[in-house]
Chain A
Amino acid sequence: MTRLPVPDRTRALTRRRHPVARVLGLLALVLAWEVLTRTGWVPPLFLPSPLGVLASGAEMLASGELAVHIATSLRRIVLGFGLGALGGVSVGLAVGVFSLAEAIGNPLIAATFPIPKIALLPLLILWLGIGEASKVAVIMLGVFFPMAINTYTGVRHADPLLIRAAVSFGAGRWSVIRKVMLPSALPMIFAGLKLGAGTSLLLLVAAEMIAANSGIGFLILNAQNLMETTRLMVGIVVLSLLGLASHWLLVRAERAALPWRPEV
């Protein structure tokens, strides 16, 4: 009689995390970049060195110039994002809950959703002027749609069993909305917020490049016009930090708002 070993199939089921490679990859990229610029293979006009960008950033921060741009951009994005999210959630809830609102709202959203929102900026400028309102409005529109659609989807996917359970205990319409539909939609709402955060950053920069004299988008375009590539790169780094920060904030908010989810 022969003894057969159990074949080891675990390799096909595991996925390693490679923690060292994560850090090394990033470091190597920055290092290669620094070396590339130091040796003069790439002129700094095309690609300034990472240390140079850092130094320039510190300088702009010290002079207060960067703070002005960041503050201006933040105000636009926070206003636009906040208003858009608020409007989107409200409309999404209404369309998800009320059949009449669904009948009216659904085709409207479907018809207007595919329009790239930046295409509306000239129109918005015409209506609202070249000031803050048009920039806030375009960001608002960009956030509104993913929020409305996600909220609507979340509400419509509320478990009918839970609705029935609530009703069996005497819940009325308002109770069902508040206690079943809204909490059911929360994960989708947060997914929409993350999506909207990316969109609003994109629209912010685009709007500031088209018509502004302050803000990160303006800083980038202005630096390019003056061939100040280092300052341009500072703008890009600030944007990526903004994106990271907003995502981090939203993930934290999601964890706080959805403690009942096994893992977020």
Chain B
Amino acid sequence: MRVLLDDVSKTYADRSGQAVEALAHVSFTAEAEELVAIVGPSGCGKSTLLNLVAGLLAPGAGAIAFEGDLPPGRPPTAMVFQEFALFPWRTVQANVELGLEEAGRPAADRRVIARRFIELTGLGGFEGKYPHQLSGGMRQRVGIARALAVEPAVLLMDEPFSALDAQTRQLMQEELLGIWERTRQTILYVTHNIHEAVWMADRVVVLSRRPGRVLEIVPVELKRPRTEAMLGEPGFVHAVELIWGRIRSQARDALQEGRE
């Protein structure tokens, strides 16, 4: 399913009641089965963007729409959170079943479906564990399984691996791409890590610092399946340099702003 963002702006009130312009006139389209990464300096409204697509925030102006056929019983989106957002009082199995419960699936179906995605995400044998008994990488697998289990048309990922250590992150990126080869939904992938964005995505949307605007949309000319060897390829290096060149001054300004 395609995701269309048309001239989307969002302003919200911060704690002191001051208006903060998070996004300004953002337009782009994620094609069906495309993996689109969204990068930008900190505080550029990346997460706001995902929340808008998830329907957790209402856009101030502009429109967001999905285009394509949505089989009945399947939600347009499901979200994977940076901080995992697992329910500590639920086992792995019950956490993965959450979305299916809300979709009104009968218990027997839930168990079977959840088990399938638990296996797919490499969590087999951990069904009865609670989140606090798992490592960070395993927890995010639960987060991913929970989102995949409802078979969303669009998977929204909000810096899913940024809380993980570098080695785990690399492995999880590979695994996610492997899963995606099989499930093939549209993915909007927010990250502040340019290497990650380029290595994973078909296209990278580069946002400016607040208020977030689309600076550039960079297509990634790398074959799939992606391999670690590609991290040295000219196509990879070129894309990374291009994006860093666009963001560099923005990121420095954002850093200065934070110091004030």
| Chain A positions near chain B (C-beta within 8 angstroms) | 161-162, 164-171, 175, 179-180, 183, 186, 258-262
Say if the beta carbon of B99 comes within 8 Å of chain A: yes
B150 touching A161, Cβ below 8 Å: no
B79, A260: Cβ atoms closer than 8 Å = no
- Contact between A180 and B87, CB atoms less than 8 A apart: yes
A170-B56 CB under 8 A given contacts A165-B79, A183-B87, A262-B132: no
The answer to the question of B61 belonging to the interface, with a C-beta cut-off of 8 Å to chain A, is no
Given contacts A165-B79, A170-B102, A183-B87, 13 further A-B contacts (CB under 8 A): A161-B81, A165-B81, A168-B77, A169-B102, A169-B103, A169-B150, A171-B102, A179-B87, A179-B98, A183-B89, A260-B90, A260-B132, A262-B132
Interface: B60 (CB within 8 A): no
Residues from chain A with Cβ under 8 Å of B55 in the complex? 168
> Which residues of chain B are within 8 angstroms of A164 by Cβ–Cβ distance?
56, 85
B235 interface contact, C-beta 8 A: no
Minimal beta-carbon separation of B98 from chain A (angstroms) = 6
Q: Which residues of B lie under 8 Å from residue A170 when comparing CB positions?
A: 75, 99, 102-103
Q: Which residues of B contact A180 (CB under 8 A)?
A: 87
Tell me the bound Cα distance from A170 to B77 in angstroms. Answer: 10
Task: Output the nearest chain A residue to B100 by Cβ-Cβ distance.
Answer: A169
Name the B residues within 8 Å of A162 (CB-CB). 85, 87
Is there a chain A Cβ closer than 8 Å to B124's Cβ?
no
Contact A260 B54 (CB under 8 A): no
Q: Which of B54, B90, B101, B132 contacts A168 (CB 8 A)?
A: B54
Q: Which of B56, B81, B89, B130 contacts A167 (CB 8 A)?
A: B56
Contact of A165 among B85, B131, B150 (CB under 8 A): B85
B78 at the interface (CB under 8 A from A): yes
- Looking at the assembled complex, report how far the CB atom of A215 sits from the nearest CB atom of chain B, in whole angstroms: 39
Instruction: List, in ascending order, chain A residues with CB within 8 A of B56's CB.
Output: 164, 167-168
Cβ contact within 8 Å between A260 and B88: yes
Closest to A180 in B: B87
Docked CA distance A232–B102 (Å): 59
Shortest Cβ distance from B143 into A: residue:
A165
Does B83 make an interface contact (CB < 8 A)?
A: yes
CB pair B85 A161 closer than 8 Å: yes
Contact of B130 among A161, A166, A168, A260 (CB under 8 A): A260
Most buried by B among A167, A168, A258, A261: A168
CB neighbours (8 Å) of A260 from chain B are 88-90, 130-132
A260 to B88, CA, bound (A): 6
Most interface-central of B83, B85, B89, B131 (chain A CB within 10 A):
B89
Tell me the nearest residue of chain B to A182, going by C-beta: B89
Q: Out of B78, B89, B131, name the residue touching A169 (CB < 8 Å).
A: B78
- When distances are taken between beta carbons in the complex, the residues of chain B under 8 Å from A167 are 56
Neighbouring B residues of A259 by C-beta, 8 Å: 130
> Given contacts A161-B81, A164-B56, A260-B132, are A169 and B87 in contact (CB under 8 A)?
no
Query: In whole Å, how far is B249's beta carbon from the nearest beta carbon of chain A?
Result: 32
CA distance A259 to B128 in the complex (A): 12
Residues on the B chain within 8 Å of A165, using CB: 79, 81, 85, 87
**Complex Cα gap A180–B83 (Å):** 16
- Closest CB-CB distance, B75 to chain A, in whole Å? 6
- How close is A40's CB to chain B, nearest CB, in angstroms? 59
The smallest beta-carbon distance between A21 and chain B, in angstroms, is: 33
